[in-house]
A and B are shown apart, each in its own frame.
Chain A
Amino acid sequence: MYRIVTKRPLHETVTLMEVEAPYIAKKAKPGQFIILRVDENGERVPLTVAGTDAARGTVTIIYQKVGYTTKRLDVLNEGDSILDFVGPLGVASHLDGMKKVAVIGGGLGVAIAYPQAKALHDMGAEVDVIVGFRNTDLMILMDELKAASTNLYVMTDDGSNGHKGFVTSALEEQLKAGKEYDHVIAIGPLVMMRAVCNITKQYNIPTVISMNPIMIDGTGMCGCCRVTVGGEMKFACVDGPDFDGFQVDWDEAIARGKMYRKEEAESLECKACNLQNVELQAKRGGN
């Protein structure tokens, strides 16, 4: 069992947790992920490591309450425990040698982009962070990102922060203005990462993206997370999750991400009352 030390809502649908997992805290590097299982009937869900504190033996995860599992996870509070929590999995991001980098994050992807930006910033690289949200209410990690970047550009879909547009428009603006990056790192929804690659390709800037496909074991055993990169079959869990964005078969990845849409809805609908019960129990237990 893995104890939740901190639980902090970042906004209405996104929550941060610090979880006690000393082995992982000691080892995890930016780009790696964990797999968790909330309870005995739970599915195995991969979440990127958003930070670690080796001294306290804790690992930070940030999740969005979208499906049954993340909603079930969100019922847990500080002091409660997660049944299974395994990692660090995947290959750490190769950040060595990067000097002038644009780190781009969209939505929850910002949580994953942050550790990379921080690591690069700590290495002394020049880091432009470009992040996008649907609106100002959904912004996360603003102070952290500011501290980890040379320049921070924040975009909103609805323009509620005064900068209307997608991350791609901000990136393009910088590139058109003559800004030079030796690397671009893009993390977020598949369509966002693809859109970033379409731009950086024109400027010939090597672009690393981070895949977040459906997984089960996370150790290369099942092949559920396979993705075509440069015409070859790769497993995101052991060969990735970072890949060369120019080589990824995006259409395939997008289709694979939708495989269980129907089941995901069914799971949520069928267990809605279960979720309420667990929530009630948790509240009673807390009183």
Chain B
Amino acid sequence: MPNMRLTKLPAREQDPNIRNCNFEEVSQGYDEAMAVDEAKRCLNCKHKPCVSGCPVNVRIPEFIQLVIEEKFMEAYEVIRSTNALPAVCGRVCPQETQCEEKCVRGIKGEPVGIGRLERFVADYAMAHGAQPAKPLPDNGKKVAIVGSGPAGLTCAGDLRKLGYEVTIFEALHTPGGVLVYGIPEFRLPKQLVRDEIKTLEDIGVKIETNMVVGRSITLDELLNEEGYSAVFVGSGAGLPRFQCIPGENLNGVYSANEFLTRINLMKAYHFPEVDTPVQVGKNTAVVGGGNVAMDAARSAKRLGAENVYIVYRRGEAEMPARVEEVHHAKEEGIIFKMLTNPTEILGDENGHVKGMTCVEMELGEPDASGRRRPVVKAGSEHTIDVDTVVIAIGNSPNPLIKNTTPGLATEKWGGIIVDEATGKTSREHVYAGGDTVTGAATVILAMGAGKTAAQAIHEELSK
């Protein structure tokens, strides 16, 4: 008999007032008994609605049944057969709008904690020495992958398993893309990202760091001189947007990318033992309402800011951040200033931030995104006392590859144009996927795109 409890079993968590002073992982997941207990809530539906909600089609009921039987390693193999980064997805996927949204148990009560179960299985398997997957015999064909973020890693893993010689070119000194420079340690431990990447290297995926495709080597050189039969571009959305208001170049103003890169990739929270500093003042404002804004705010708190504000021009219901992230941020003492929009950042005589002028907003009619459009409330201008500002209002695709690859068609805003069903671009043998195509989205959508492209590349090269 399934466990008919209406609620998800909560995962173990660090206490909010302890964790907001450290960078260790907030959620500590399930233990074996908890996992089995939660797994028993699954009805093992014949029509598997959850699977259709997953961009990489993890065979969810199948792995959950194996959890009930305590066959955790077998459960891991089921997940891994379609998902190259299970431990990552179990942590950062927005399950509430994907698999769990479709879960029948969610009609009356809470859905099964699929994400928490996936995470448990992945952590269990990695701790108990999962064997590397067995790739098919080498087929003698080379594929190059640009970028080692979620899209690139997924595409690389799938193609390698099919027998291709796969090399990933990564611009930074460490592979992982947004998983290492963007998402903080307390949400996604970097050791785990390293472990996931190692499972790919163990099956023969090669990774060349410090290679900026478009500068160190071009797409055309990869195809024409280096002997690659196809290239997948998963270079991400690495071009920060700013508000275009006065004062954004003052000292103490960061893009979220810079702020998080200093902290996550460069480990600035260990400064001066490590060489990269980051400045976090007493009062920090983070402008934006997405997951990146939550990450920046929670990081600032951990670095000692007394007051951390989320400044967002719409209301809380319109925030693109996951409900869980907002909840965690509030628990940790982040102050939410909703319906507030900055109009100017003010500097002191040394060119450093000393305040931010904002206006209050009201919600009007829905705009193109379906969210109610914020309009300025008359006479609402006010100044908040801040000494650090982080702009987290989104990223555009990095133009480096577009600018150095003749004939590669892109949207006006920079996204590479692809055929959605295959990831094929306007250039022969060139595929693309992830944020460089969609603009900033989620890890799992990028992985789905990497998977689609891997399949299409395989079809093209098998002809």
Contact = CB atoms under 8 A, between A and B. Distances in A.
Interface of A: 23-24, 27, 37, 41-44, 68-69, 72, 83-89, 216-224, 226-228, 233, 238, 249, 251-252, 255-256, 258-260, 263, 266-267, 270-271
16 contacts: A43-B266, A43-B276, A44-B266, A86-B171, A87-B216, A88-B215, A216-B262, A217-B172, A220-B399, A220-B400, A221-B261, A222-B255, A233-B244, A233-B249, A238-B399, A258-B351
Interface in B250-288: 250-252, 254-255, 257-258, 261-262, 266-267, 270-277, 279
Q: Could you say which of A220, A221, A271 has the most chain B C-beta atoms within 10 Å of its C-beta?
A: A221
Interface stretch (B58-66, B128-136, B153-161, B234-242): B234-242
A280 B257 CA distance: 38
Q: A-B pairs with the 8 shortest C-beta distances?
A: A255-B351, A221-B238, A263-B277, A222-B258, A43-B275, A86-B210, A223-B255, A84-B173
Given A27-B215, A256-B251, A217 B171 contact: yes
A216 B349 CA distance: 26
Q: Could you say which of B172, B239, B252, B273 has the most chain A C-beta atoms within 10 Å of its C-beta?
A: B172
Contact of B271 (A84, A223, A267): A267
A252 B351 contact: yes
Nearest to A255: B351
Q: Could you say which of A41, A87, A222 has the most chain B C-beta atoms within 10 Å of its C-beta?
A: A222
Contacts of B249: 226-228, 233, 249, 252, 256
B357 interface: no
B251 A84 contact: no
A222 B257 contact: yes
Q: Could you say which of A41, A42, A89 has the most chain B C-beta atoms within 10 Å of its C-beta?
A: A41
B209 to A, nearest CB: 7
A46 to B, nearest CB: 13
Given A43-B275, A263-B277, A87 B215 contact: yes
A150 B257 CA distance: 46
Given A68-B275, A223-B257, A260-B277, 8 more contacts: A23-B216, A37-B173, A87-B216, A217-B238, A221-B239, A221-B240, A224-B255, A252-B351
B212 A267 contact: no
Interface string B363-392: 000000000000000000000000000000
Interface of B: 171-173, 181, 209-212, 215-217, 238-240, 242, 244, 248-252, 254-255, 257-258, 261-262, 266-267, 270-277, 279, 350-351, 398-400
Contacts of A221: 181, 238-240, 257, 261, 398
Contacts of B250: 255
Contacts of B261: 216-217, 221-222
A154 to B, nearest CB: 34
Q: Could you say which of B209, B244, B254, B277 has the most chain A C-beta atoms within 10 Å of its C-beta?
A: B277
Contacts of B276: 43-44, 216
Nearest to A89: B215
B225 to A, nearest CB: 11
A36 to B, nearest CB: 9
A89 B172 CA distance: 12
Nearest to B260: A222
B238 A220 contact: yes
Contacts of B257: 221-223
A51 to B, nearest CB: 18
A266 B275 CA distance: 10
A263 B272 contact: yes
Contacts of B398: 219-221
Contact of A86 (B216, B350, B351, B400): B216
A226 B211 CA distance: 23
Contacts of A219: 171, 212, 215, 238, 398, 400
Contacts of A260: 277, 279
Contacts of A226: 249
Contacts of B277: 260, 263, 266-267
A171 B258 CA distance: 39
A86 B173 contact: yes
Contacts of B275: 41-43, 68-69, 72, 267
Nearest to A260: B277
Contact of A216 (B258, B272, B399): B258
Nearest to B403: A238
Nearest to B273: A41
A229 to B, nearest CB: 11
B210 to A, nearest CB: 4
A230 to B, nearest CB: 14
B216 A24 contact: yes
Nearest to B214: A219
Contacts of A37: 173
Contacts of B254: 224
Given A216-B262, A220-B398, A259-B251, A84 B209 contact: yes
A238 B251 contact: no
A88 B257 CA distance: 22
A87 B213 CA distance: 10
A233 B250 CA distance: 12
A233 B240 contact: no
Contacts of B271: 263, 267
Given A43-B266, A222-B257, A233-B242, A270 B272 contact: yes
